[in-house]
Amino acid sequence: MSGKIRVLVVDDQYVARSFFEIHVEMTRRYELAASLANAEQAVAWCMEHPVDLVIMDVMMKYGLDGLTCARTIKNNHPQIRIILTTSTAEAKWIEKAKKARIDSFWFKEYADIPLTEVMDRTMNGESVYPDIAPNPDFGEGSKYDLSERELEVLRDLTRNLTNEEIAEDLNISPRTVKRHIENMLAKTGYKSRVDLAVNAKALGLVVHEDDRTKNRPDP
């Protein structure tokens, strides 16, 4: 027994997974237990192998998403510490992670503290969450220039929904949806709703729940 903290890395992106592996292997306190590209495999791994800390991305190309699987791991093994990560700027996942009793949350692209510090503080019993959500540039403005309702409309725009479909989803009128879109165009300088949707998706500004769960119900 090495006495080191055993870390399970879970990310479907090879570059990100390698980044986490290097961070673990460069430390004296931690050792890499395994590195997986699938969140569901992580659930099974934790059932069969000793793990102290899981570092897992929220979004997965295949199978269940990281947030859902992190919740399952936490329910089955409350002693395992979990750090959820994402390369997007989607802020709604912070509250979902807290509700699922996930120990810590780290924005890859917008981190204000190093990952190793988050790992140390998490293993020392602290819950580490960002004080504020990321505020990336969006056209001529930034994410903070948009209201919460505008962000909700934008999430639906990234799903290529019509004004009528967005209105039904958000329980507002199509005219109100149109006004929100016009306001976002004015704030960002983009020329069309397509520009809004394409750039929001490319930047990871917002992510619709269907894109996270792949249309699976969120338990």
Nearest 10 degrees: Cα torsion 5, 50, 129, 15: 80
pLDDT at residue 215, as a whole number: 43
Which amino acid appears at position 106 of this protein?
W
pLDDT at residue 216, as a whole number: 46
CB atoms within 10 A of CB 75: 10
pLDDT at residue 218, as a whole number: 42
pLDDT at residue 2, as a whole number: 61
Q: Contact, 113 vs 148, CB < 8 A?
A: no
Phi and psi dihedrals of 107, rounded to 5?
Answer: -85, 115
b/e map of 136-163 (b: 16 or more CB within 10 Å)?
A: eebbeeebebbeeebbbbbbbbbeebeb
Residue-by-residue pLDDT tens, the chain, 219 positions: 468 999 999 999 999 999 999 999 999 999 999 999 999 999 999 999 999 999 999 999 888 999 999 999 999 999 999 999 999 999 999 999 999 999 999 999 887 899 999 999 999 999 999 988 889 999 999 999 999 999 999 999 999 999 999 999 999 999 999 999 999 999 999 999 999 999 999 888 998 888 887 744 444
Model confidence pTM above 0.85: yes
Nearest to 13, CA basis, from 53, 62, 49? 62
Write out the two tokens for 53.
Answer: 């800390």
Which domains are assigned to the chain?
5-134 (3.40.50.2300), 137-203 (1.10.10.10)
- DSSP-assigned states of every residue in the chain: ---PEEEEEE-SSHHHHHHHHHHHHT-SSEEEEEEES-HHHHHHHHHHS--SEEEEES--SSSS-HHHHHHHHHHH-TTSEEEEEESS---HHHHHHHHTT-SEEEESTT-SS-HHHHHHHHHTT-----SS----EETTEEGGGS-HHHHHHHHHHTTT--HHHHHHHHTS-HHHHHHHHHHHHHHH--SSHHHHHHHHHHHTS---HHHHHTT----
pLDDT at residue 62, as a whole number: 86
| Residue that the structure tokens 């791991």 belong to | 73
pLDDT at residue 141, as a whole number: 95
